[in-house]
Chain A
Amino acid sequence: NFVLTQPHSVSESPGKTVTITCTASGGSIGSNYVQWYQQRPGSAPTCVIYEDNERPSGVPDRFSGSIDSSSNTASLTISGLKTADEADYYCQSSDGTNRVFGGGTKLAVL
């Protein structure tokens, strides 16, 4: 079965750049688009990247996404980190029939 694996947590200082990875197993990361969602405590998720590397309107260009087929991994990169970026981040894709979420990564900005 198709599984997306993320690191449990990452941390970085304000103003720096951080990359969160999402590694696929049981299928190819490039077969279906990857989305990334941000979830702040007590709130519903919001999409920050769709179709691997597209930003929804209103999402700053500090957020970017990429795919590396050689490592079967999608990545979310956030540059110029702000304390407001502190949240849980989830990758999402599909096995062709069903949608799948990664386990989530807690980003600490400190």
Chain B
Amino acid sequence: EVQLVQSGAEVKKPGESLKISCKASGYIFTRNWIGWVRQIPGKGLEWMGNIYPGDSDTRYSPSFQGQVTISADKSITTAYLQWSSLKASDTAIYYCARRDRDTPMDDYWGQGTLVTVSS
């Protein structure tokens, strides 16, 4: 059974760094793109970027380029989203999602990680 299990909720202060994770299981991790999606509370979905763990090819939405870093560790089948300096405007739920190998569908999603940035 395919599962994406994300790390728990975080409360951080502005300027702090953070790395959240998405642990994949039930499939060959290196064969599917994994993306990250932001959802500010009460707002819509925003695609941030994705990574192909097989070769670490990474794409970023122009809106998030330079603001976050997406990475993956094949040895522990885990994808990451990290910030070097958080802002209050980064407060949101972050979802990871696996893209199906043969279609553009994001077929499995993590449960979401709530990141709260507040002084």
Contacts and interface: CB of A to CB of B under 8 A. Distances in A.
Interface of A: 1, 32-33, 35, 37, 39, 44-47, 50-51, 54, 56, 88, 90, 92, 94, 97-104
Contacts of A33: 103-104
A44 B104 contact: no
Given A90-B44, A90-B45, A99-B35, A35 B59 contact: no
A104 B95 contact: no
A28 B100 CA distance: 23
Nearest to B44: A104
Contact of A50 (B60, B103, B112): B103
A98 B61 contact: yes
A51 to B, nearest CB: 6
B66 interface: no
Nearest to A88: B44
Contacts of B106: 35, 37, 45, 47, 92
Nearest to B50: A99
B27 interface: no
Interface of B: 35, 37, 44-47, 49-50, 59-62, 95, 97, 100, 103-107, 109-112
A56 B2 CA distance: 15
B37 to A, nearest CB: 8
A98 B103 contact: no
A35 to B, nearest CB: 6
Nearest to A46: B109
Contacts of B104: 32-33, 35, 50-51, 92, 94, 99
Given A45-B95, A50-B104, A98 B59 contact: yes
A51 B103 contact: yes
Nearest to A34: B104
Contact of B59 (A37, A92, A97, A102): A97
Contacts of B109: 44-46
Given A44-B95, A44-B112, A101 B45 contact: yes
B107 A101 contact: no
